[in-house]
Structure 1
Amino acid sequence: MKYMKKRRGKKKRSFEEDPMSGVANLFDVAMVFAVALLIALVSSYHIQELLDPTRDITIVKNPGQPDMQVIVKEGKEIKTLNVTEEMSEVEIAGTVGTIYRTPDGGMVYVPEGG
């Protein structure tokens, strides 16, 4: 008979209670965290201009290196140009003229030989 006594203090669990109800909103929290992380990455790399369709942008990655890339964005179209040794080396034939800066900020071009 001692086993048949009612224990006061313990609640009976109803079958309608869902044990996973406490973690149901974790997906929503994870989605908010993922969106916040994407916004933080975009703002930390200063690439908001790439998302604006009205701006034209040119980005040079690894300037002066053999694996240099030029990324050009015109409107919604983005092109990647891989620069090779042949593209970056040009022989200079001579000078064409001289450009002088004036005190007020303007520039004057004087052709050579005349």
Structure 2
Amino acid sequence: MGGGEEHDIMGSVANLFDVAMVFAVALMVALVSRYNMTEMFSTQDFTMVKNPGKENMEIVTKKGEKIQRYTPSNDQSNAEGSRGKKVGVAYQLENGEVIYVPE
């Protein structure tokens, strides 16, 4: 080594790891803000309906720290508690909660 300088390869690897972590956090923040998912991180309870009135409709509810996803259908044989039944233009979940979905 002519110049007396030593290159620390492990230091370079640590710097690459730091850069990768900053990039990953920035990507997560960008995705959350792009898809308007900031409600998921709030302390307020909410109910969100994805694809209202369509075949692949999904109801997402958040109560405290618990997030549940419901897929309304006529099939009530699912024991995991994630199905509901259609009641006109409203949906009644297995726990008795009724969610109105405008057409």
TM value normalised by structure 2: 0.61
- Give the 3-state SS of the residue equivalent to 1:88 in structure 2: strand
Structure 2: runs of 5 or more not aligned: 76-84, 89-103
User: How far 1:22 moved relative to its partner?
Assistant: 7.3
1:31 alignment partner in structure 2: 21
Structure 1: runs of 5 or more not aligned: 1-10, 91-114
1:44 alignment partner in structure 2: 34
Change in 2 beyond 3 A, CA 1:21/1:73: closer
1:8 alignment partner in structure 2: none
Could you tell me the percent identity over the aligned residues?
42
Residue 58 of structure 1: which of 36, 47, 51 is its match? 47
Count of residues paired in the alignment:
78
RMSD: 2.5
Contact 1:56-1:75 at 8 Å conserved across structures: yes
Contact 1:71-1:79 at 8 Å conserved across structures: yes
Contact 1:66-1:85 at 8 Å conserved across structures: no
Deviations 1:15-36 (Å, cap 9, x if unpaired)? x723626733111111101101
Residue 63 of structure 2: which of 41, 55, 74 is its match? 74
2:6 corresponds to 1:17: yes
Q: Compare CA radii of gyration and give the structure with the larger one.
A: 1
Pick the structure with more strand per residue: 2
